[in-house]
Amino acid sequence: MEEADRLTVAAGTPIIELMANAGAAVARAILQHWSTRPVIILCGPGNNGGDGFVTARLLAEAGWNVRVALLGDRNHLAGAARYYADSWQGSIEQLSTTVINGADLVVDAIFGAGLSRPLEGVAAETLAAASLKNIPIVAIDVPSGLMGDTGESLGAVPSALTVTFFRKKPGHVLLPGRLLCGEVIVSDIGTPYTILPELAPDIFENEPSLWISDLPRPHEGGNKYTRGHALISGGYPLTGAARLAARAAVRAGAGLTTLAVAEIAFPIYAASLTSIMVQPIKVQDDFDRLLNDPRYSSLLIGPGAGTTEETRARVLSMLSTRRPTVLDADAITVFQNDPQTLFQAINGPCILTPHEGEFARLFDTGGDKLTRSRSAARSSDAIIVLKGSDTVIASPDGRVIINTNAPPTLATAGAGDVLSGILLGLLAQGMDPFLASAAAVWMHGAAAKKFGPGLIAEDLADLLPGVLSGFLKGHQELHDNIEQPGLLIAQSGRFSVNSGDTLSA
């Protein structure tokens, strides 16, 4: 974002104009969200404070009772921030915990994303006092004390509204930052969209526009074989997880789905499944012979598999085929004492879908979620889907997609197995593994939101057709009504950005 500002200024838009536009965007958002009331604008020593001075002037012109408090000495302000501070006609108080007295709204223009250390001193005390009194806080850029790059909180307090500019930052979508930002408004302040290719963004917020062009669709002349054949290694005695995954793979569009299961478990699987085939397996050689069939286009192991030598052997056999392979749950944990053996066996498309506990069994847990996910993807040469309310999908080449649509109801047994199955079904049809991972995670969240309270894992697969129909219809209508839609698209495995793009990146 610093580079975006530099390029914008270099292209002829002065920083003083960008600051004016930023302050105007904040004032506009406040006027849209609240009726006239006493407001205190808390300004910091940098450009974030300059945005605050512009906001103060515009709210005062709109008839609001506006006061301004400054952290530091007015004479130390420089550049555009000094210009707008000098343009403020009212008094400027020293920042203290008492300045919030009598205010019904607080604007946090202290630091924004410019702070790289813990929020402390009078700034931290004043914001904490406002939060304790339940006075709504509007943050400019990000709440002071929130790390824009990582979403980590170093003393930030919750805001009711955050107004940011041009594009969101990772801190707006990663936890706990997302919860501290409240409603997020992204405002255009004059940064030209044409600079996006030069910025080469590689972190994206998950939404269908990223991957819908690659989403497999049934087509005239196709058949069940052209839609791919998914193979799942089914566990015993825990049989439910693999069955959940199998139903999800079918609902996601796989033309055929087969479960390879121990002979003793065959009656359980066969009696409960109809369109899904069940293949009994006696020994490892039987499983290897099954994998020799080139018609299996995607593979999954882990749900209910057990942390056994058999699971370990099956994982290595699957990876040796170099076909798209999803490793979940026990297929990850079984390598906790020897992760390098797993990483060395990954020579083809592979997706690991750990939750935080499983992630910790293979990878370093130091640092923020974004950094950890990227590091894990590089070290394993696999796509990492680090699950949670802010699931991070990381590719070995450094690209990241952050998901934000998962409701709390997904915290239920078996939901992760369904996610693995959706991903498997998309891979079976030949979808790019990175984009398929993002699509599966988004569809998973959308299905849960569609159901609402009382969700159990068994509900999810049957909700997928409605989810798919809804956004495919919406995408087609958008495409029909826009001659040159500005979408983030994938070309040769890399995102490219059309000029005119208006999505958050």
pLDDT in tens, 100-147: 999 999 999 999 887 889 999 999 999 999 999 999 999 999 999 999
Domain assignment of residue 501, yes or no: no
456 and 314 assigned to the same domain: yes
CA distance 297 to 228: 6
119 and 212 assigned to the same domain: no
pLDDT value of position 7: 95
Domain assignment of residue 499, yes or no: no
168 and 296 assigned to the same domain: no
Domain assignment of residue 93, yes or no: yes
Residue ranges of the chain whose pLDDT lies below 70? 474-505
Q: What CATH number should be reported for the domain holding residue 286? A: 3.40.1190.20
The DSSP code for 484 is: S
List pLDDT tens digits, range 448-478.
999 999 999 999 999 999 999 887 776 666 5
> Please, which residues have CB within 8 angstroms of residue 199's CB and are 6 or more apart in sequence?
3, 4, 7
pLDDT value of position 234: 97
> Please, which residues have CB within 8 angstroms of residue 473's CB and are 6 or more apart in sequence?
none
CA distance 178 to 156: 12
CA distance 320 to 258: 19
* Domains held by the chain: number: 2
Nearest-CA neighbor of 386 among 351, 342, 339, 432? 351
pLDDT value of position 324: 98
81 and 31 assigned to the same domain: yes
pLDDT value of position 481: 54
Domain assignment of residue 423, yes or no: yes
Domain assignment of residue 502, yes or no: no
398 and 274 assigned to the same domain: yes
Q: What CATH number should be reported for the domain holding residue 32? A: 3.40.50.10260
Structure tokens at 473: 């219809």
CA contacts within 13 A on the Cβ side of 307: 11
CA distance 154 to 128: 13
| Structure-token match 């085939």, residue found | 277
193 and 291 assigned to the same domain: no
Torsion sign across C-alpha atoms 466, 469, 475, 480: negative
112 and 187 assigned to the same domain: yes
CA distance 405 to 76: 43
Expressed as residue numbers, the domain containing 310 is 208-466+481-489
Whether 366 and 348 have beta carbons less than 8 Å apart is answered as no
Whether 228 and 255 have beta carbons less than 8 Å apart is answered as yes
List pLDDT tens digits, range 390-419.
999 999 999 999 999 999 999 999 999 999
